[in-house]
Structures are given as structure tokens and as C-alpha cells.
Structure 1
């Protein structure tokens, strides 16, 4: 079961309600900057984790200036659309509410605005910024997604060209490998690997630990290629990195 640290108490708490029901994930994004994009990305991955566990989810975006710009940048990163707060009404009788926000005291929609996050759990995301132009290239959006996910969400992040280039190299290598593994006889995900993946993302949504499992599988001498493919495809349901994109292409990219 997914457990998330509630920023109010510092204690891990079940992200899903004791009684099965709708969970609302509300992303509080004051501005369409790199921090705002990181908040929305964490919310997107949180939704994916809940859906993998079979939890019905309702997503809401609130507190945003420049929504059009934010939505365009989010779409490029593969972040699925969130409803606008003004369109969401007063609620659908959800059993749990998860507020994803940056710890910006006094900012509308930020963690300092207790009236916005009074009910439910608060999932804080540390600030992020980027060197000029690094976060703006649509052609490198997948690499930006990976670079943002590779850093623990509670640690401040400074993106530079080296980080983005490293993420591009990793994505190119993984997509090429997945395309090759897809041509091999299929095999199930080894139980220990599946357990490691689930343990990672169910422990406070530890995405860097998920990526670490994939790196181990990539170089493992005991996991067959067909099982590697299934492992990466399964993990990508959470990561949203389009790791299977190059299957069937003549030249993996």
C-alpha cells in the first residue's frame, strides 16, 4: 500500500482511504515556472501510482497563474490533464484528498496557505530552477521529465545542461535496449524485481529508487531479456517516460 509523508506531521500515512473510494489529487501550482512544473509532475506520478493499485482518482489543478503556459509545458512532459479548480465543483464525496504543493509560505495555492490544504494530506515538493533555456526545449521534454524525477522530491533541484544531457543519454540507451529486448522471447518480471519496484514507489513515492532498480536490471546477468522488457514496460506505467517508444523502429532514438 502506498504511504506518503504528510508534511504537516512528518509521519508516513496511507495515501489510500481505509474504505475504498475516490481519492482527489489536487496540485497547487502558483506559477508556471520550473517549481510549478515539478509539483505538477509529482502529482502526475502520484496519480499513476494510485491507479496502478486500483484506486479511482480525481485530479484538480488550483492556484495557477498562466494556466495556458503551464498546460502546454505539462503536455510536452507527458503530464496528463488536471481539471481546473473552477470546473471541479464542491467535490464528489471523495474518501481521501492529497494536496501536492511547494512549501511557499504566503503564496496562493502554496503549502503556506493552510486554507487551501486544510483537509487531507499535504505532499510537499521542494523548489526547482534551471539554467536559462534548459527547461524550455520541447524536443528534450522527455529528458526533462527524467531529470526532474531523478532527484528526490523533497530535495531542492537545480537543473543544468549536464543533467539534461545525462538524462537524454539514459533515455536513448534505455529505449534502444527496450526495443531490442522486445524482440526476445517474453518472460515474466522476476518476483524480487517486482517487489523492489513496488516497495520503492509505495515508500513515499520514491521514484529515484525505482530508477535504481531499473539500472540494476539493465546490467543484471541473471534477468533474461524478455523479462527486462516486461520490467521496463511495467515501471513505465509509473514513470511515463515512453520507454517502449522505439519498438519496431529501424533506428532506436
Structure 2
């Protein structure tokens, strides 16, 4: 369907997520007005943990775009500081420090984000994230040493070593796009080729956005906005959001100003800094 074609017969009005506890879709926003608390549960410092943090960030951004106030915390038994540093590099919103303040501000719902197979205590919806793994180790890496708790710093299921994290975060936006391109319920297999492809796609989009910005601004077409929201409100279907952007870039007859505004609007969720090259001579 063209990006600017007939509007869908039905558009979701509320973000829905698949609750891993019940296997059923549930509204991510509370029925009564109040904060939604998002808790990212990371068991270590590995590519899967980064994917958990990224999913929590996307949930936060999608809820905020729908007008829902959100409170986010990070639950991690170890490497807490390193996870926060990695999150910052990936343009993930900062996590709050306290667990209890949100309840005093009228918390209405809590959603936990965790890797598949994680034992998540308490009630409320759980958003599960499939594993992510680095499938090609950089030259010179070796088996990791246990940390002070006696646990390897990287889970055995992801035999990456500490030097891998700097390699993954060498281009954080490309890593973010590579992870966004894979459905959350499918394993994400990262290697240098995948990151290079994501970096190339990101560079092309940034050049295009910079070029479109030179034309008069036009509003995001209603049908395009509806497709974007329908995609991310359907259990955070980010690959579908990226498909909409691809269609908008290729749609014949669509004003460049509308393409620009569409990409800037979608980037409020994607956080890929798509307007970074504005004013360049590309």
C-alpha cells in the first residue's frame, strides 16, 4: 500500500503489548490516569541486556507520544553503572534511581521488560525480549574472567568477551537501528556486516532528510501518521515502522517537505538522530 494511500479502516487508539504472563495483548497505558512504571530487568552486560534496555526505551517513548506519563527504573544485580553508560550511548532515556517514588505520584500500572526465560517476580504485564548475540568475535578476544560475584560477566549463551561491548558501541546509532530492524520476538544476530549495513542505511536516511529539509515544510500525511502509529501501537512493531519510512522515501509525488516531517516525527520514537546532517552540503 502506498504510504499516502487510503487510510486504514481501523487504527489502534492505544498502545498494546503482548503480555508474556498470559500470552494475550493488553493495553500498555493504564485505564485510569496515572504513571506507568517501566522496569528494565538486565541480568548482565551483554547484547541481550542492551536489547532489553532498548525495548524499555521504545516503550517509554511510545507511551509518551500517546500522552501517558512514564517512570522508568533499571533492575540489574551487577554491572549497573556499565549498563547505564551503555544505555546513554544508545540514546536510551535515563533511568530513575528509586523504586518507591513513582507510587507516591499516582502510579497506575507497572510493566516489566526482560529477556526470554527470565523469572520475573510480582504481577503486572511482562514484555519479553528474544536473545541478541554477537556472532563474530573481534580478533584477539578470549574467554572472559568471572567477576567478583563468581559469575562470568557475559552469559554462556552469548560467549562474547568484554572487548565486544566497545565494538558494538563504536557506532551506537547503527547498533540501535540494527536491533530495531529485527522483530522483538526473534533472535537478533549481530556481526560486523549487520552493523555496517545499518550504518549505511542510516547515512542514506540522514542525507535524504538533510536534502528534504531544503524544501518548504509540509505536514505528515494523515494516512502516513496512521500507519506509523498503527505499527508501533501493535506491540511495538518497529520493523513495520521502518517499512513505512522506506515507503515514504520512495513514494512518487509526495512533497519532500512531507517526507522530512514524517522522518522527524518517527524519530521521536526511533531516536536515530535522523536530522543530524541538516545544513550539510551533501
Fold conserved (TM > 0.5)?
Answer: yes
1:14 pairs, out of 27, 34, 42, with: 27
1:161-215, Cα deviation, whole Å (9 max, x unpaired) = 1111110010000000000101101101111111000000000010010000000
Q: Corresponding residue for 2:175?
A: 144
Structure 2 residue aligned with 1:163, among 189, 194, 201?
A: 194
Report the CA distance shift for 1:77/1:28 in structure 2 as closer, same or farther (over 3 A): same
Q: CA RMSD, aligned part only?
A: 1.4
Q: CA deviation at 1:33?
A: 0.7
How far is 1:11 from its partner?
A: 0.6
Residues of 2 paired with 1:248 and 1:151: CA distance?
A: 31
Task: Tell me which of 89, 99, 108 is aligned to 1:88.
Answer: 99
1:58 and 2:58 matched: no
- Distance in 1, Cα, partners of 2:252 & 2:232: 24
Give how far 1:81 is off: 1.1
Structure 2 gaps of 5+ residues are 1-13, 139-163
Counterparts in 2 of 1:135 and 1:167: CA distance versus 1, 3 Å: farther
Shift in CA distance, 67/193, structure 1 to aligned 2, threshold 3 Å: same
User: What's 2:113 paired with?
Assistant: 100
The answer for the alignment partner of 2:124 in structure 1 is: 120
SS in 2 for 1:43: helix
User: Residue by residue, what CA displacement relative to the aligned partner does 1:127-183 show, whole Å, maximum 9, x if unpaired?
Assistant: 111132565334311100000111011111110111111100100000000001011
Secondary structure of the structure 2 residue equivalent to 1:17: coil
Structure 1 match to 2:223? 192
CA distance in 1, matches of 2:266, 2:185: 21
Cα shift at 1:89: 2.6
For residues 193 and 62 of structure 2, what CA distance do their matches in structure 1 show? 29
Name the counterpart of 2:54: 41
Distance in 1 (CA, whole Å) between partners of 2:76 and 2:166 is 22
- The structure, 1 or 2, with the larger RCO (C-alpha pairs under 8 Å, 6+ apart) is 2
Once the 2 structures are TM-superposed, how far is the Cα of residue 88 of structure 1 from its aligned partner?
A: 2.6
SS in 2 for 1:26: strand
Task: Count residues with an aligned counterpart.
Answer: 240
> Unpaired runs of 5+ in structure 1?
105-110
Match in the other structure for 1:108: none
Q: Which residue of structure 2 aligns with residue 241 of structure 1? A: 272
> Which residue does 1:74 correspond to in 2?
87
**1:63 CA drift (Å):** 2.5
